[in-house]
Amino acid sequence: MGGPWPDRLRVHSARPSRSRAHPGGADRLARAMRSGLNATGVNVLNASGPGSEQSVPHLHFHAVPRWPDDGISTWPTGQSQHRFDGDPAARLADALTAGKHHGS
C-alpha cells in the first residue's frame, strides 16, 4: 500500500528504525541482494489466504532479486474477474475507516 513515507521508497533503503515495516528482515535481505548479487531491484511478495494461491499455511515473504534484463514480471497482467456490488474502492475505504477486518 502506498503512502507518504520518503524513507520507505525502496525496501533496501528503509531506515533501520522503520525495518518493522518490512516483515522478516526483507529490508536487510534486499540490501544484501544489491551488494552481493548486484541486483538493481527487489520484489517482496506475499500470498495470504486461499484466494491468493498461498501454498503453505504460515505467514512468509518471498524476496526476488531483479535486474532490468531478467525477463520476468511479478506484476499481474490482467484484472480480476471478481465482481462487487457497488464501488470496491469505496467499500475498502469504509472498511479501513471503520477498522473492520474480514475473517479475523
What is the pTM (predicted TM-score) of this model?
Answer: 0.62
Q: How much is the average pLDDT of 26-36?
A: 87
Pick the residue with more confidence: 45 or 17?
A: 45
Question: Would you say residue 54 has pLDDT above 80?
Answer: yes
Reported as a single tens digit per residue, the pLDDT across 68-94 is 999 999 888 888 888 888 888 898 888
Domain ranges of the chain: 1-73
Grid cell 529490508 is found at 27
Rounded distance, CA 42 to CA 2, Å? 16
66: left (phi over 0), alpha (psi -120 to 50) or beta: beta
The topology (CATH level 3) of 1-73 is: HIT family, subunit A (3.30.428)
Q: List the grid coordinates of 68.
A: 532490468
Report the chain's mean pLDDT, rounded to a whole number. Answer: 77
Angle at 28 between CA 22 and CA 66, to 5 degrees: 85
